[in-house]
Structure 1
């Protein structure tokens, strides 16, 4: 959201403070609405939420161009924060669930490659279009291009099977078979197989009132902690998502602290994410998910500790270490998203990943405090300096916090099982049974 900072200069003399308020509005909205979104994903599936969220996001973003004051802008950004995960999270889950195992790794890693390209484009456009309204309109109208593709998108057959909608799942499979020019077994045989292998989940989807909704949300949350293996996955993934988002957005928001030109820093930051997304695929394909995640977190921690020790005069080394940290934490973040989608069973995958992203929003909320308020900025000629080397009494503090947190999650991730080459678990019982017989390699991967 750095592109809105020029707009806020009309409302305040401290754009950094307003940027952080805006950032908190967005991520607070994501966090508070998360239980409703998880229930909606279970009740209505993945496709309707992607459609509604995508259309709402683009329309609100375009209308934001003509809002008259800061309060209206913040309300619009709150609404965008509500719609954003509907597109990102539900779309990601849908893509993972419909992909075949041999393509799942590549798809899970490269899905966020456009994010890096968009970050680079945003830095260039922000440099060229200094009027925030023009910039807002330019980056928002691009979203209209995705509307025609909604027509070709189907619901997740896995979700349809788990929720007992076997006939609809069969229709989706038949359509996919036609597109891919393959033959399916007889319909009766497929329906029998679905009902035997994937019985409907016992979750109650009939109660829709507020009291039942809150109770259902609490039960949906607690179910992630009721069995030993699922509990371990949930706790470690919660910690991973919280820290990964905190470090990722903390480094993204540090352009004014670490570089004299925030536009160049944003472009370079996006550029470093491209190899993070592209090189991550062959790495996880060859070495799995757990090992690369651990290694990238540890490397990020080391890079940020080095950054904290670099003298202020070596600005090029400061930026280099920051970009290395950004690249490694991006790799770890993307692998963690793929990793979590493979660890959580289909029965609770939406709830598990949804609450993981809720934890990431908490980390995102913390990051502006660490990058801006943990550092005591100096003041010269009534002008606030945000550069790493100017007037900061504890400029090393954010790097140490981010570096230490990265090391902690790197060590914590060692406790998780490897999922390379394994089928996605469909039920909690399926997950808990793994470790016995032929499935032993899934959990006891050492």
Structure 2
């Protein structure tokens, strides 16, 4: 069943489609504040030192306490030995802009400093688990329902975090909060891509990208206006409450409904869209492409009986039926004598590894996500050492992603997906290696810091561009029946890369060139692994597993002109 043909009949986005696109994009954009907000909610204070005893005074006239970061020293004027103790009276924290964080609220400094990393690791562990589970559930129960449930969970746990003072409770809520996050980000992206036809998919990607830049850039002034991390966490969470109601009144992915055999529901949505645009279309949008008798709109019983069976057939089988009407009639007459294929078995992530083609494709996409997460988050970790106002730094790092998305749009519009992805991966790899190999100064004493910074920024720019193309291609190479599950599994592997990135950066204790060289090698390998994959530009999204396998051929599974266009 050619869903894209129905979209072409409807033409460009009308009010109803635009509203649903904006609802899901708003959900994903605000959710990005939760992901990037950890930069502010778990940041270290600028300075801290031990608090003095209730009646103690700092060193004066040769006697008193000397507060240091992790110990309190008492110096006796009489000349006795100085007494050193731990910070038994707590700590005093100082920040340039008066901001607070989890660190100073729970005293995660000195011998408890490692717990800051634990909070972050637990959070990403929740995201890792949630990416896989949300992907599977979305392919079974639908995109809209899982996004709706994830959004409720994200708001509830986000509000709970703003009132949590217990460390163990903080860890538990952080994990659960991270678990719900993929359902409001990765699934939202899938939902948006499935609304688009091949001709407007690239434009939709650019709109999503630019709104992503706007949303994460807005986080910096919001965090500056709310320096108390609890107020910031609460504000971010409450901002999503209206989105919950908007998601509830949105409609389900038409592609997913068709693949689940719920063709009547998909048909009703298409009719609503047509009505909202004042389009008069005789008959039905779906199934009419295979059976001209349905154009009269008087055969609803036939739709009910045969919609599930017809949608599970491959394109080749459908074409054969159109050529051989007798065989089609025989199939329709016997449709009630056997159970529909889609009811017999539900596709799972395991089905990706049952054919050599899909296995290779899945492993390559998994590596892409791992490598891009390592490089992308590795650059952010290195950026943490930048001097200056952290709010301004975060804002500038955010807006510098916009040129990467614009360049991507222009390249993919002209050259497709594969060649731009190879190009940006190779350039990112080369610039990373150069950044690692260039010394800080020459033998004659010439400072090369500016050169290193330029190549580092180029590496960051092209790594962002690579991640952007990989997002789109990951959604395009997997079939609808497994798109969310495969995308979720890819994101899960990617989060492993995000967790590995800090350890790669830590290799600078051996030599400061090692992290950037590792980033470069990972990017170069990602570029080479693009070669075995098919071009997905201007190709219809694969719907079934058979369509996914056929995507390797020169012509897409349903790239031929559909009956609706003839």
TM-score (norm. length: structure 2): 0.67
**Secondary structure of the equivalent of 2:385?**
helix
1:258–1:319: 8 Å Cα contact kept in structure 2? Answer: no
Task: Give the distance between the partners of 1:185 and 1:17, measured in 2 at CA.
Answer: 66
- 1:22-52 alpha-carbon deviations (Å, 9 max, x no partner): 2321221222344432331122100011111
Cα drift, residue 60 of structure 1: 2.1
**Secondary structure of the equivalent of 2:194?**
helix
1:302–1:137: structure 2 CA closer, same or farther, 3 Å change rule? Answer: same
2:143 corresponds to 1:9: no
Residue correspondence of structure 1 range 111-130 to structure 2 within 5 A = 111-127=208-224, 129-130=226-227
1:439–1:114: structure 2 CA closer, same or farther, 3 Å change rule? Answer: closer
Q: Which residue of 2 aligns with 1:408?
A: 525
1:19–1:175: structure 2 CA closer, same or farther, 3 Å change rule? Answer: farther
Task: Give the distance between the partners of 1:314 and 1:134, measured in 2 at CA.
Answer: 43
- 1:256-280 alpha-carbon deviations (Å, 9 max, x no partner): 2355654443222101111222332
- 1:256-310 alpha-carbon deviations (Å, 9 max, x no partner): 2355654443222101111222332232122111111111111111221222134
1:19–1:250: structure 2 CA closer, same or farther, 3 Å change rule? Answer: farther
Match of 1:349 among 483, 494, 506: 483
1:91–1:151: structure 2 CA closer, same or farther, 3 Å change rule? Answer: same
Task: Give the distance between the partners of 1:441 and 1:193, measured in 2 at CA.
Answer: 18
2:436–2:513: 8 Å Cα contact kept in structure 1? Answer: yes
**Secondary structure of the equivalent of 1:251?**
helix
Query: Which residues of structure 2 form unaligned runs of 5+?
Result: 1-37, 44-100, 290-302, 314-339, 441-446, 560-566
1:8–1:318: structure 2 CA closer, same or farther, 3 Å change rule? Answer: farther
2:425–2:466: 8 Å Cα contact kept in structure 1? Answer: yes
Cα RMSD (Å):
2.8
1:269–1:326: 8 Å Cα contact kept in structure 2? Answer: no
**Secondary structure of the equivalent of 1:153?**
coil
1:34–1:355: 8 Å Cα contact kept in structure 2? Answer: yes
Report which stretch shifted further, 301-310 or 124-133: 124-133
1:100–1:177: structure 2 CA closer, same or farther, 3 Å change rule? Answer: farther
Cα drift, residue 342 of structure 1: 1.0
Q: Which residue of 1 aligns with 2:150?
A: 53
2:488 corresponds to 1:374: no
Q: Which residue of 1 aligns with 2:272?
A: 175
2:423–2:527: 8 Å Cα contact kept in structure 1? Answer: yes
Match of 1:166 among 256, 263, 270: 263
Residue correspondence of structure 1 range 130-209 to structure 2 within 5 A = 130-187=227-284, 189=288, 191=303, 195-198=309-312, 202=342
1:222–1:44: structure 2 CA closer, same or farther, 3 Å change rule? Answer: closer
Query: Which residues of structure 1 form unaligned runs of 5+?
Result: 206-215, 377-392
Report which stretch shifted further, 174-183 or 37-46: 174-183
Task: Give the distance between the partners of 1:441 and 1:305, measured in 2 at CA.
Answer: 42
Match of 2:370 among 226, 236, 242: 242
Cα drift, residue 204 of structure 1: 6.0
Match of 1:78 among 175, 191, 210: 175
- 1:299-345 alpha-carbon deviations (Å, 9 max, x no partner): 11122122213444554444433332222111111111111111111
Q: Which has the larger radius of gyration?
A: 2
1:347–1:428: 8 Å Cα contact kept in structure 2? Answer: yes
2:369 corresponds to 1:273: no
Task: Give the distance between the partners of 1:366 and 1:116, measured in 2 at CA.
Answer: 25
**Secondary structure of the equivalent of 2:42?**
helix
**Secondary structure of the equivalent of 1:413?**
coil
2:126–2:175: 8 Å Cα contact kept in structure 1? Answer: yes
Task: Give the distance between the partners of 2:157 and 2:362, measured in 1 at CA.
Answer: 34
Q: Which residue of 2 aligns with 1:388?
A: none
**Secondary structure of the equivalent of 2:534?**
coil
Q: Which residue of 2 aligns with 1:320?
A: 454
Task: Give the distance between the partners of 1:87 and 1:36, measured in 2 at CA.
Answer: 13
Q: Which residue of 2 aligns with 1:208?
A: none
Q: Which residue of 1 aligns with 2:357?
A: 229
1:327–1:441: structure 2 CA closer, same or farther, 3 Å change rule? Answer: farther
2:479–2:545: 8 Å Cα contact kept in structure 1? Answer: yes
- 1:371-425 alpha-carbon deviations (Å, 9 max, x no partner): 2x3233xxxxxxxxxxxxxxxx522222111111111101111221101111111
Residue correspondence of structure 1 range 14-29 to structure 2 within 5 A = 17-29=114-126
Match of 1:102 among 199, 222, 229: 199
Q: Which residue of 1 aligns with 2:49?
A: none
1:254–1:306: structure 2 CA closer, same or farther, 3 Å change rule? Answer: same
Task: Give the distance between the partners of 1:203 and 1:316, measured in 2 at CA.
Answer: 62
2:467 corresponds to 1:333: yes
Task: Give the distance between the partners of 1:204 and 1:249, measured in 2 at CA.
Answer: 42
Report which stretch shifted further, 231-240 or 317-326: 317-326
Report which stretch shifted further, 260-269 or 1-10: 260-269
Report which stretch shifted further, 356-365 or 70-79: 70-79
Q: Which residue of 2 aligns with 1:363?
A: 497
Task: Give the distance between the partners of 1:164 and 1:283, measured in 2 at CA.
Answer: 37
**Secondary structure of the equivalent of 2:531?**
helix
Cα drift, residue 203 of structure 1: 6.8
1:196–1:52: structure 2 CA closer, same or farther, 3 Å change rule? Answer: same
Q: Which residue of 1 aligns with 2:78?
A: none
1:374–1:397: 8 Å Cα contact kept in structure 2? Answer: yes
Cα drift, residue 350 of structure 1: 1.8
Report which stretch shifted further, 65-74 or 16-25: 16-25
**Secondary structure of the equivalent of 1:59?**
helix
2:258–2:311: 8 Å Cα contact kept in structure 1? Answer: no
